[in-house]
């Protein structure tokens, strides 16, 4: 592929240095260079593919304003119908501009087909695939992201563009003689990054906040589960806003989270602003000139929070746009834990494995085609559908090069998060950062938290796993600031177990070590708490008198009333409980009533002093 470099100054946009986006070109350009805007203003029909809906709605808002009838550009995404597209195509807008998600692309094709102008789309429209690396990064969970790709190569005029493009292995790029154009800044400004590797992400983030004094934080964490866990741990729900998909918003609503947005809205920003991956690229965040950006990776709570420093982190930074007249100072921190057990192989091994799977698959295809038995064909067809290689195929049986590229990309990113050095090297080798490195270690690790949280017998197993952690904390000193942070984490994440620990005492738990002994002592303490309840003792003093005799029925009735009054349900209204308050006689004759002897117990002495 031929390569070309064009220089761009810091205060320039792409429209200042080129007249138009060239055909059959893959562009690498700085974030915020205005390439999408340039195409939307170009004097030609355009079809632009954007990975996510918020980007499209943002562009539509910029160009259309509040006019919903006379649209300059037509956004296409879930909820927009074929009729909406047809109406736009029939409007008198001179240069039609359509921006669509990959998943909604078929609706665009249907609209042109209904009007009988599909050839016009292929021949007269310029197709621009923005943030093109998403075809590789997202395909493992978004099969339809490559829906436009077959048609992309049919278009007479087309281009691939991104600030962080990953060159696909799809041979059609070479076959159609695409060229690669690098829009390179005259002055390379490296982004300072505070890289914090840790064995406990939440504690490191909390520690970071304690030493920070920012008015707002912009946190990229690609897991609503992790976002909620972090918000709950820090008790910052009212100070937080979550930006995520419609589906995630619905789930959050069920959990009584109302501060949620599915579109970028700068007016909704709070102190803590969380973004899932759909806001990682192409979205414009305006008006924030000193953003404090925090990227969080937790390999244990959600593996898909891993990010590539050479592409995804660059995109996150680029969301915050420099004002046309002014400067921007972006502050970046990446807090990440590491997992040496993440699956990783060299690229050569991955390619070799895929090729071997392909050979096996080919043998099965040949066998399927050769057999004549209906049963044999059915069995081999089922085997073909279940082979590991099947995920690297399109529906028509052709090779899905983007899935292969995704396997290589995911494997590479996995490699970064196996150790502190590997992640540092990933930042270093990109040549885009000034790195400040810091490693933090806590007694409570994210790996231990995962093991504890997955235990079946939560109290017993959690307690058993926490004992060695508590032993370490006691050795460090229970007054140490970091130790107090870790104890707070245990209390937040394991409230039931922590009640047991608190009841017995941390140092006593460490001394006992044995889980059964700890639980037994906790039970005894709880029992004593009920027995020594001041209100109950006062009640018994006023209802049971030394020197008097009581039947078992009377004793049970008095004890029941006291237990219910003071809500001491763990206590049982029996003789064992009574004996904890009074010295009593053996069962004796008390008196007679209507010729019937009545037996009971005489109260000899009170055991409490009120």
Q: Is 223 exposed, middle or buried (0-12, 13-18, 19+ CB in 10 A)?
A: buried
- Angle at Cα 42 formed by Cα 40 and Cα 44, nearest 5°? 105
Give the alpha-carbon dihedral of 144, 299, 332, 437, to 10 degrees.
-140
For residue 457, pLDDT beyond 70:
no
Tell me how crowded residue 533 is: count the other CB atoms within 10 A of its CB: 17
Its domain, for residue 407, covers 347-415
Q: How confident is the model at residue 387 (pLDDT cuts 50, 70, 90)?
A: confident
Task: Give the confidence band of 376 by pLDDT, cuts at 50, 70, 90.
Answer: confident
Higher-pLDDT residue of 411, 141: 411
For residue 260, report the phi and psi dihedrals to the nearest 5 degrees: -135, 135
Task: Kindly state the tokens that stand for 605.
Answer: 């002495």
* Reported confidence tier of residue 308, pLDDT bands at 50, 70, 90: very high
Q: Give the Å distances, CA to CA, from 443 to 79, 448, 484.
A: 49, 9, 11
Residues in the chain: 610
> What sign does the CA torsion over 15, 21, 22, 25 have?
positive
Average pLDDT over residues 123-150: 91
Q: How many CB atoms lie within 10 A of CB 442?
A: 22
Threshold 0.95, pTM exceeds: no
Claim to verify: residue 421 and residue 547 sit in the same structural domain: no
Of the residues 185, 210, 239, which one is the last residue of a structural domain? 185
Give dist(CA 221, CA 592) in Å, integer.
79
Parallel/antiparallel/unpaired status of strands 292-297 and 260-261: unpaired
User: What dihedral do alpha carbons 396, 397, 400, 403 form, nearest 10°?
Assistant: 110
What's the confidence (pLDDT) of residue 309? 96
Per-residue pLDDT, 535: 76
The three-class DSSP label of residue 8 is strand
- Residue 246 Cα distances to 251, 261, 265, 278, 589, angstroms: 9, 8, 15, 11, 77
184: number of Cβ within 10 Å: 13
Residues 388, 284, single domain; the answer is: no
pLDDT, position 418: 96
Distance from chain centroid for Cα 39: 33
Does residue 225 share a domain with residue 162? no
Shared-domain flag, residues 491 and 352: no
In this predicted model, which residue has the larger pLDDT, 455 or 188? Answer: 188
Cite the beta strand spans of 150-264 per DSSP E.
157-162, 179-185, 191-198, 217-220, 240-243, 260-261
Q: Looking at residue 24, what is its pLDDT?
A: 96
**CB distance 334 to 346 below 8 Å:** no
pLDDT the model gives residue 527 = 60
Co-location of 118 and 208 in the same domain: no
The predicted pLDDT at position 381 comes to: 86
HEC string of 539-602? HHHHHCCCCCEECHHHHHHHHHHHHHHCCCCCCCCCHHHHHCCEEECCCEEEEEECCEEEEEEE
- Per-residue pLDDT, averaged over 502-530, amounts to 80
Residue 362 has pLDDT above 50, yes or no: yes
pLDDT over 50 at 458, yes or no: no
524 and 546 co-located in one domain? no
CATH number at residue 138: 3.40.50.300
Q: Give the model's pLDDT for residue 610.
A: 44
What's the structural domain count of the chain?
5
Tell me if 584 sits within 8 A of 601, measured CB to CB: yes
Instruction: Write down the mean pLDDT value for the chain.
Output: 90
Asked whether the predicted pLDDT for residue 71 surpasses 60, the reply is yes
Q: Are residues 398 and 381 located together in one domain of the fold?
A: yes
Give the model confidence (pLDDT) of 476-488 as tens digits.
Answer: 888 888 888 888 8
Residues 421 and 408 in one domain: no
Checking if the pLDDT of 460 tops 60, the result is no
Question: Which of the four pLDDT bands, split at 50, 70 and 90, describes residue 518?
Answer: confident
- Whether 263 and 305 map to the same domain: the answer is yes
Let me know whether 168 and 302 are in one domain: no
Q: Are residues 334 and 390 in the same domain?
A: no
User: What count of other Cβ atoms lies within 10 Å of the Cβ of residue 402?
Assistant: 25
Residue 513: CB partners within 8 Å, gap ≥ 6? 467
pLDDT higher than 70, residue 40:
yes
Mean pLDDT comparison of 248-252, 354-358, 513-517, 575-579, highest-scoring range: 354-358
What per-residue confidence (pLDDT) applies to 609? 56
Query: Which pLDDT does position 526 carry in this prediction?
Result: 67
Whether residues 495 and 399 fall in one domain = no
Residue that finishes a domain, picked among 528, 543, 570: 528
Least confident of 14-23, 122-131, 140-149: 140-149
- Please tell me the distance from the alpha carbon of residue 254 to that of residue 520, in angstroms, as a whole number: 39
Do the Cβ atoms of 392 and 403 come closer than 8 Å? yes
Sheet holding 272-275, edge to edge: 260-261, 240-243, 272-275, 217-220, 292-297, 331-337, 191-198, 433-440
Domain boundary among 185, 218, 235: 185
Q: Report CA Rg, the chain.
A: 34
Q: What is the DSSP string of 326-375?
A: S----EEEEEEE--TTS----HHHHHHHHHHHHHHHHHHHHHHHH---HH
**Residue bearing tokens 């003689």:** 177
């Amino acid at each position: 592929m031929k390569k070309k470099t064009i220089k761009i100054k810091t205060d320039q946009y792409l429209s200042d240095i080129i007249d138009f986006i060239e055909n059959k070109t893959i562009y690498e350009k700085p974030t915020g260079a205005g390439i999408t805007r340039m195409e939307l203003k170009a004097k030609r029909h355009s079809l632009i593919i954007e990975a996510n809906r918020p980007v499209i709605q943002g562009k539509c808002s910029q160009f259309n304003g509040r006019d919903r009838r006379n649209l300059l550009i037509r956004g296409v995404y879930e909820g927009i119908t074929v009729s909406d597209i047809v109406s736009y195509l029939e409007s008198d807008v001179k240069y039609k501009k359509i921006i669509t998600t990959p998943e909604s692309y078929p609706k665009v094709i249907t609209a042109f087909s209904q009007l009988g102008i599909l050839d016009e789309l292929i021949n007269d429209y310029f197709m621009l695939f923005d943030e093109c690396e998403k075809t590789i990064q997202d395909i493992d969970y978004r099969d339809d992201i490559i829906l436009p790709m077959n048609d992309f190569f049919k278009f007479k005029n087309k281009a691939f563009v991104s600030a962080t493009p990953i060159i696909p292995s799809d041979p059609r790029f070479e076959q159609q003689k695409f060229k690669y154009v690098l829009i390179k800044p005259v002055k390379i400004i490296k982004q300072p990054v505070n890289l914090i590797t840790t064995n406990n992400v939440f504690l490191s983030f909390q520690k970071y906040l304690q030493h920070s004094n920012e008015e707002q934080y912009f946190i990229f964490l690609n897991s609503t589960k992790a976002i909620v866990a972090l918000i709950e741990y820090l008790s910052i729900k009212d100070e937080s806003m979550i930006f995520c998909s419609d589906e995630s918003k619905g789930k959050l609503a069920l959990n009584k989270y109302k501060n949620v947005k599915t579109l970028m809205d700068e007016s909704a920003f709070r102190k803590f602003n969380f973004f899932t991956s759909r806001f990682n690229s192409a979205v414009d965040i305006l008006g924030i000139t000193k953003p404090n950006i925090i990227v969080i990776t937790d390999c244990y709570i959600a593996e898909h929070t891993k990010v590539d420093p050479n592409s995804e982190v660059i995109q996150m930074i680029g969301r915050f746009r420099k004002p046309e007249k002014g400067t921007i100072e972006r502050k970046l921190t990446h807090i990440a834990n590491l997992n040496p057990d993440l699956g990783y192989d060299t690229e050569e091994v991955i390619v070799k494995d895929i090729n071997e799977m392909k050979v096996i698959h080919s043998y099965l295809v040949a066998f399927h085609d050769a057999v004549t038995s209906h049963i044999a064909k059915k069995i081999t067809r089922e085997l073909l559908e279940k082979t590991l290689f099947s995920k690297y195929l399109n529906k028509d049986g052709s090779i899905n090069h983007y899935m292969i590229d995704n396997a290589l990309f995911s494997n590479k990113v996995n490699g970064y998060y196996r150790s502190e050095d590997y992640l540092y090297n990933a930042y270093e080798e990109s040549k885009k950062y000034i790195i400040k490195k810091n490693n933090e270690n806590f007694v409570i690790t994210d790996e231990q938290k995962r093991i504890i949280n997955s235990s079946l017998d939560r109290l017993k197993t959690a307690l058993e796993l926490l004992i060695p952690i508590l032993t370490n904390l006691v050795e460090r000193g229970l007054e140490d600031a970091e130790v107090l942070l870790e104890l707070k984490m245990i209390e937040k994440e394991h409230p039931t177990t922590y009640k047991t620990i608190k009841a017995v005492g941390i140092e006593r738990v460490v001394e006992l070590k044995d889980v059964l002994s700890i639980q037994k002592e906790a039970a005894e303490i709880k029992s004593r708490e009920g027995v020594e309840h001041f209100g109950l003792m006062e009640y018994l003093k006023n209802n049971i008198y030394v020197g008097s005799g009581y039947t078992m029925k009377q004793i049970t009735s008095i004890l029941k009333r006291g237990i219910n009054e003071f809500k001491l349900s763990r206590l049982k209204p029996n003789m064992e409980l009574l004996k904890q308050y009074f010295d009593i006689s053996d069962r004796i004759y008390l008196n007679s009533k209507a010729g019937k002897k009545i037996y009971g117990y005489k109260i000899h002495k009170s055991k409490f002093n009120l």
